Structure 1
Amino acid sequence: MQRAFRSFFLLTTLTLVGGLHTAGASSRAAIQDTIVVRLPNQATLTLTVRDAAQLRQMKNYHLDSLTSRLAGYIAQAESAAKKSTTDQVTLQFYPDKDQPGKNLPEQIRITTRKKTANANRVDVLLNKSFGVTVTTDADGSKSYNAGEGKSKEQRQAQRDSTRMKRIEGTRTTSNFIFDLGLNALVNQKQYFTPAGQPEAVDLRTEGSRYVNLGFNWDTRLGGKRSPVSLVAGPEFAFNNYMLSGNDKWVSANGRTDVVRETDGRQFKKTKLATSSVNLPLMLQLKLRDAHYKPTFILSAGGFAGYRIKSHTKLKYTSEGTTYKDKDDGGYNMENFLYGLQGTVGYGGLELFAKYNMNNLFKANAGPDTQVLSFGLRLSGN
């Protein structure tokens, strides 16, 4: 049987080699040549080569004896897979070192996976040039598919499998987050300056920036592929409230007010800056595509925090000299912070919004207003 198979294979090879010489040279680079051998046991052996030169090299491998040798190697690989605690096992054999001088392959690498309800698949790699896939059906029939390396679909399937195992095997993940956005004053009620004049706080939009840094721990709720998780983690936020016009922040007599400059100085910057530490707690819905990559992300919840520090900064020019005056203080601002926040995103783009339910200043000690922060979020999702 082995000699018959070898004769049949060599005859098929010589026939195809003759046909290859008649094919156009320009199409050879784009189209691969194929030999299909149907065996009596309903198995199919398919060989795919780049050109006639590579095909001629196949006669050096003595495929009749190699087939018997592969059967023993595959049996060892299947036995190892049954005993393994992992989903797949890879074994390597070196026939040329075991029996030098017989033109055997330098290396045979066999990867076999545990048997499922439908089939057990075994991948065999000869040297790194010819790949063979052996599939055993439920009734015990084997099919062979040999080709040069892995196809694009096979590589994609391997990436998908690796990504899926990482998702299913890790219940809690950590992500670094970076928020960059703007601050706005909302629900602002009219208040009166010490002189009894009604006054409204008008912020300069581009100067009232919001920056947030932190780590979020994402804990999956439910099964291995559940899209719902609980998100929590420490965050450090920095808020700037920059006034428009020639107004400035003034803290005096237990109050913080916005006062118009009367000394003739023209301000370039008049801002109130704060820093705080916050702890968010949100429910998150994260959908994935067919390749297990994140697509739509929606999260919503609340936060609590504490103001760490605050200061004002004035920047102005007088007689050709630029001055920067900085004054640290509490500025009658609320120390304990709380509110609602959420994110929405698709693919690599994610937006955030954060609403402080607490007033920016203590009652009757400053403008009666709350803060809304919004912008772009960058994270490791």
Structure 2
Amino acid sequence: MKLVKHLLATVLLATSAASFAQTTIVITSDSTESTITKTRKHVERVSSDFGIYVGFNNFTQSPAGFSGDAGTFRPIGSRFVALAWQKRIPLAVSGSTKLRLITGPEVAWNNFMLEGNNRLVERSNELIVEPSPVALHKSKFVTTQLNLPLMLNVSFRSGFTLGMGAYAGIRLDSYTREKPEGAKAIRTHGSFNLNPVRWGLMTELGFRGTAKLFGRYEPNSPFRTGQGPDAGVWAVGVKF
């Protein structure tokens, strides 16, 4: 009878224990002593984190597709920023090399700064880069997009991680912002012949728990065919 009680207690302990380490239980009866060793497998759950991307962006070539030849965009000063709410989904995490799927919504801003005293305007469904009639302190073109990335991330025992994947998104807003000398900035919102949907490739590398380098590339023009420069968009920077 005592042996039955010991066995029942052992089963209850084995099913309610919360640790994932190896558990050893000793069962003692009036005349015998036995040891049961049970190994429990660690289960990694889906985790969440928040990332901030900061870097530079520009077109893959000079935007000669714009009507007019007043100027181009500055590579330094044209900035990329994104706020990402990400889920890390474990796929294969039993060994020293772990594989996870990273996904989640993000809001991304592409800021394209114009060179010189120039501005971007839309007239009769045509984009034109032209000299401004007033002196400008700053002139830029901004697109805001809601993206959904899908990226496979591999992490090694050393802590080094590498991620590669793609993203697709829809346009939320786009506008020009002109800051005349000594005056308030003027924003002009519009579609600017942009495609409502954009997609691109992405990669990230670095060490677990630290800032990572990232790169993004959109092979297709963000503008509708024949209504803007036939050039892709790139972005590089640091993810925090």
TM bucket (normalised to shorter chain) is 0.7 to 0.9
Superposition deviation, residue 352 in structure 1:
1.0
Q: Secondary structure at the match of 1:169?
A: coil
Q: Secondary structure at the match of 2:232?
A: strand
Structure 2 unaligned spans of 5+: 1-7, 27-34
Richer in strand (by share): 2
Question: Do the aligned residues in 2 keep the contact of 1:191 with 1:200 (CA within 8 Å)?
Answer: no
Q: With CA pairs under 8 Å and 6+ residues apart, which has the higher RCO, 1 or 2?
A: 2
Give deviations 1:212-239, integer Å, cap 9, x for gaps.
Answer: 1121111111353450111111111111
Of residues 87, 92, 97, the one that matches 1:222 is 92
Structure 1 residue 368 corresponds to structure 2 residue 230 = yes
Give deviations 1:291-313, integer Å, cap 9, x for gaps.
Answer: xxxx1010001111111111111
Moved more, 336-345 or 252-261: 252-261
Q: Which residue of 2 aligns with 1:273?
A: 142
Structure 1 residue 84 corresponds to structure 2 residue 13 = yes
Structure 1 residue 346 corresponds to structure 2 residue 207 = yes
Superposition deviation, residue 178 in structure 1:
1.1
**TM-score, normalised with respect to structure 1:** 0.51
Q: Which residue of 2 aligns with 1:359?
A: 221
- Over the aligned positions, Cα root-mean-square deviation in angstroms equals 2.8
Q: Which residue of 2 aligns with 1:310?
A: 174
Q: Which residue of 2 aligns with 1:233?
A: 104
Question: Do the aligned residues in 1 keep the contact of 2:107 with 2:144 (CA within 8 Å)?
Answer: yes
Structure 2 residue identity aligned to 1:284: N
Structure 1 unaligned spans of 5+: 1-78, 89-112, 121-139, 141-164, 290-294
Superposition deviation, residue 115 in structure 1:
2.2
Q: Could you tell me how far apart the structure 2 residues matched to 1:180 and 1:267 are?
A: 25
Q: Could you tell me how far apart the structure 2 residues matched to 1:187 and 1:81 are?
A: 70
Q: Which residue of 2 aligns with 1:299?
A: 163
Q: Could you tell me how far apart the structure 2 residues matched to 1:323 and 1:171 are?
A: 50
Of residues 174, 183, 189, the one that matches 2:57 is 183
Judging changes above 3 Å, is the alpha-carbon distance between structure 1 residues 189 and 248 closer, same or farther for their aligned structure 2 residues?
Answer: closer
Q: Could you tell me how far apart the structure 2 residues matched to 1:247 and 1:345 are?
A: 39
Superposition deviation, residue 199 in structure 1:
6.1
Moved over 4 A (4+): 79-83
Judging changes above 3 Å, is the alpha-carbon distance between structure 1 residues 199 and 266 closer, same or farther for their aligned structure 2 residues?
Answer: closer
Question: Number of paired residues?
Answer: 216
Question: Do the aligned residues in 2 keep the contact of 1:188 with 1:368 (CA within 8 Å)?
Answer: no
Judging changes above 3 Å, is the alpha-carbon distance between structure 1 residues 80 and 87 closer, same or farther for their aligned structure 2 residues?
Answer: farther
Superposition deviation, residue 356 in structure 1:
1.4
Structure 1 residue identity aligned to 2:216: K
Q: Which residue of 2 aligns with 1:30?
A: none
Q: Which residue of 2 aligns with 1:260?
A: 131
Q: Which residue of 1 aligns with 2:197?
A: 336
**TM-score, normalised with respect to structure 2:** 0.79
Identity %: 27
Aligned pairs for 1:1-381 within 5 A: 84-85=13-14, 86=17, 114-115=23-24, 168-188=42-62, 190-191=64-65, 193=67, 198=69, 201-203=72-74, 205-206=76-77, 208-225=78-95, 227-261=98-132, 263=133, 265-289=134-158, 295-317=159-181, 321-347=182-208, 348-378=210-240
Give deviations 1:250-305, integer Å, cap 9, x for gaps.
Answer: 111211121122x3x2211101111110111111101235xxxxx10100011111
Richer in helix (by share): 1
Q: Secondary structure at the match of 2:163?
A: strand
Judging changes above 3 Å, is the alpha-carbon distance between structure 1 residues 353 and 251 closer, same or farther for their aligned structure 2 residues?
Answer: same
Q: Could you tell me how far apart the structure 2 residues matched to 1:351 and 1:169 are?
A: 29
